[in-house]
Amino acid sequence: MENGKNVNKKSRFNEDFWQEYRTLVVKTGVPSHKAEWYVKWSVRFAGSQPNLPLKARTAEDVKNFLNNFKQNVSIKEWQVDQATEALRFLFKEFLKLAWAEKWTNIICDTKGTECLRNPNQQELLKINSFRDSSTSKEVVCFSLK
């Protein structure tokens, strides 16, 4: 099966694709009940541009989706975190798209001052760089180690 091709269409292929994604998520240690939400968030993302296959999506598409998602007052921070992790897993681990290898840089918010957290990460966020003061063009971004 070629991951990410035609997954926006209602079909048996679509169901198989999402089941395969869910199975891989569970194999990595995500509890089954949470894996269902990974699928839901990823399907929601796929539906945000129904005529654009997942393999054709870009880092910018993910940023725009997550930024719009964060603006919804009924969405809690942990839901944004979970959706972010679901999309990271979808693009980096499942579809294995090259641009997703730089996920930490992708999920930095539009101001570049923070990154969304990974709820499955056991370690605390670590600072990659720090400086007492900064110029208006400098950015400090937190990443997961």
Q: Quote the number of domains for the chain.
A: 1
CATH classification of the domain holding 69: 1.10.150.130
Alpha carbons 16 and 144: distance in angstroms, whole number? 31
Q: Is residue 128 part of a domain?
A: no
Q: Is residue 131 part of a domain?
A: no
Q: What pLDDT is stored for residue 108 in this prediction? A: 63
61 is in which domain, residue-wise? 12-103
Q: What is the DSSP string of 17-79?
A: HHHHHHHHHHHTT--HHHHHHHHHHHHHHHHHSTTS-GGG--HHHHHHHHHHHHH-TTS-HHH
Alpha carbons 15 and 63: distance in angstroms, whole number? 26
pLDDT tens for 96-139 read: 999 998 887 776 643 343 444 444 433 333 333 344 444 444 44
